[in-house]
Amino acid sequence: MRKNVLKDKMLRGERTTNGWCAFGSSYSAELLGHAGFDSVTVDMQHGMFDFTQVLPMLQALSATPAVPVVRVPWNDTAVIMHVLDAGAYGVICPMINNRAEAERLVAACRYAPVGMRSYGPARGLLFGGPDYFDHANAEIVVFAMIETIDGINNLDDILATPGLDGVYIGPNDLALVLGARPGTDLTEPKCIDTIAHILARAQAHQKFAGIFCASGAVGAIRRKQGFHLVTLSHEGSYLSQTAKAHVAAALAEPAASASDGGELKPSTGY
């Protein structure tokens, strides 16, 4: 079976970067797959698409060096099994509250006797190879998202779940349940302390810790803190920010644009 190079890298203690698809576009997924990320996550929870688009996005990612991961919309066994059959090498599941929910997540991702994943790996075989069944339980990487009060309170139980590879922090939902505003994970003491606590407990259990970051700059801070996997915003924000910057540059005085440096340099725009 094709190795899960994302999991291997984290097992070696190396830090990884993850891209995040908010659009239901195979071309967009392909662009992210070639951008240098170790993995790219197709976001079925908040992305503007459903399984019909997930399949071609995973196919597009197959032609890139990035490991294909899916954030499923919920801890729904049928959806989890379906995205794995479609070739996902990693699953990130939102809002895991307790050990029973973590066990349910893991069971959906692992074949018996470890779990209850149903057999029918379809694209998993095409992407992974003919010996997919023999190694899938070991290669697929599974993250439980910690972003609820129950999830925080039951963190040690969740982390002790056999077969769970790690936890992944949703800093925006986490901020909400802590009584703060989204986007305050680096400024609100409650958020800072809770994120540090989750990271420390993951490290104590020798499990991976991942986190969504609003930008590459935030990702750099999280990497230094010790997170194994940092997601660097998503393509919706790249498009919006870059579009605004182009509009601002076009509306600026020509002298100002020139002194900005970039605008007059030869560029294909890609």
- Binding-site member from 59, 172, 184, 194 for ligand 3PY (CB under 6 A): 172
The smaller minimum CB distance to ligand 3PY, of residues 1 and 105, is found at 105
Binding site for Mg ion (CB under 5 A): 147, 170, 173
Q: Is there binding between residue 132 and ligand 3PY (CB under 6 A)?
A: no
Minimum Å distance from CB 23 to ligand 3PY?
15
Minimum Å distance from CB 183 to Mg ion?
12
Q: Which residues are catalytic?
A: 46
Minimum Å distance from CB 173 to ligand 3PY?
3
- Binding-site member from 115, 151, 166, 170 for ligand 3PY (CB under 6 A): 170
Stretch touching ligand 3PY by CB under 6 A, among 25-33, 166-174, 191-199, 256-264: 166-174
Minimum Å distance from CB 170 to ligand 3PY?
3
Please say whether the beta carbons of 180 and 194 come within 8 A: no
Stretch touching ligand 3PY by CB under 6 A, among 22-30, 103-111, 171-179, 188-196: 171-179
Minimum Å distance from CB 203 to Mg ion?
22
The smaller minimum CB distance to ligand 3PY, of residues 121 and 170, is found at 170
User: Which residue sits closest to Mg ion, CB atoms considered?
Assistant: 170
Residues 173-192 that bind ligand 3PY (CB under 6 A): 173
The smaller minimum CB distance to ligand 3PY, of residues 39 and 172, is found at 172
Q: How many residues does the chain have?
A: 270
- Binding-site member from 23, 208, 212, 227 for ligand 3PY (CB under 6 A): 212
Distance between CA atoms of residues 7 and 16, nearest Å: 9
